[in-house]
Structure 1
Amino acid sequence: MSDSARAAAAGAEGTGREGSRPARGGKQEERRGLFARIALFFRQVVAELKKVVRPTRAELLRYTAVVLVFVAVVMAFVTLVDLGVGSLVGWVFGG
C-alpha cells in the first residue's frame, strides 16, 4: 500500500462519531430555555426573510406569462393524449 493510500485510510478512520460534532472546548454549554429557543428561531426567520429579493413588476409579469404558457402547453398535450387513447380504446373494443 502506498503512503498516500495509508494517509487517506487513516483520515477516513477518523471520520467516526468524534468528527461529527464540533469540540466544545471542555466546558459545558448551558442549554437555552424554551422561550429563548423560540425567540432565536423567529430572529433567524426574520434574518432569512430580509435576504429575499422581490421581483420587479416586469419580471413578475414575465414569470406569470411563462407559467401560463407552460400550463396551456401541458393541457394541450394531455388533451391530445386523452383523445388518442380514447379513440384507440374505442377502436379496439368496438365502441
Structure 2
Amino acid sequence: MSDSKAVRRERGHDAEKRTGPATFYRQVVAELRKVVWPTQEQLVTYFLVVMVFVLFMIGIVSLLDLGFGKLVFWVFSGGSTQ
C-alpha cells in the first residue's frame, strides 16, 4: 500500500465538498441554460442522419449474419449443397 497523501483521504474531507440538494438543483439549471439547443431543422436533419446510419448498420449486420449462418450450416453439414 502507498503512504502517499494523494491516495489517502482523511475522514470528513469529503463532507466539506458536498453540496445540498437545493444548490445542486441551481447548478443543474444554470448549466442547462448554457446549452445551445438545436433548431427544429437541425433536429430533423440529425434524426434522419442517425436513422439512415442505423438502417445501414442493420443491413450490414443482417448480411453478415446470413452469410456466416450459411457458412456454418455448410461446414457442419459436410460441405454438401442440398
**TM-score of the superposed pair, with normalisation by structure 1:** 0.60
Matching of residue 53 in structure 1 with residue 51 in structure 2:
no
CA shift for structure 1 position 17: 4.4
Aligned residues: 66
2:10 paired residue number: none
Q: Which amino acid counterpart does residue 65 of structure 2 have in structure 1? A: D
1:8 paired residue number: none
Quick check: which has more Rg, 1 or 2? 1
SS of the equivalent of 2:34 reads coil
Ranked by relative contact order (alpha carbons within 8 Å, sequence separation 6 or more), the top structure is 2
Question: How many Å separate the matches in 1 of 2:75 and 2:5?
Answer: 63
Please identify runs of 4+ aligned residues in structure 1 that moved more than 3 A: none
* Amino-acid identity (%): 49
Please give the per-residue CA displacement for 1:44-92, whole angstroms capped at 9, x wherever unaligned: 0110011111111110111001100010011001001100111101110
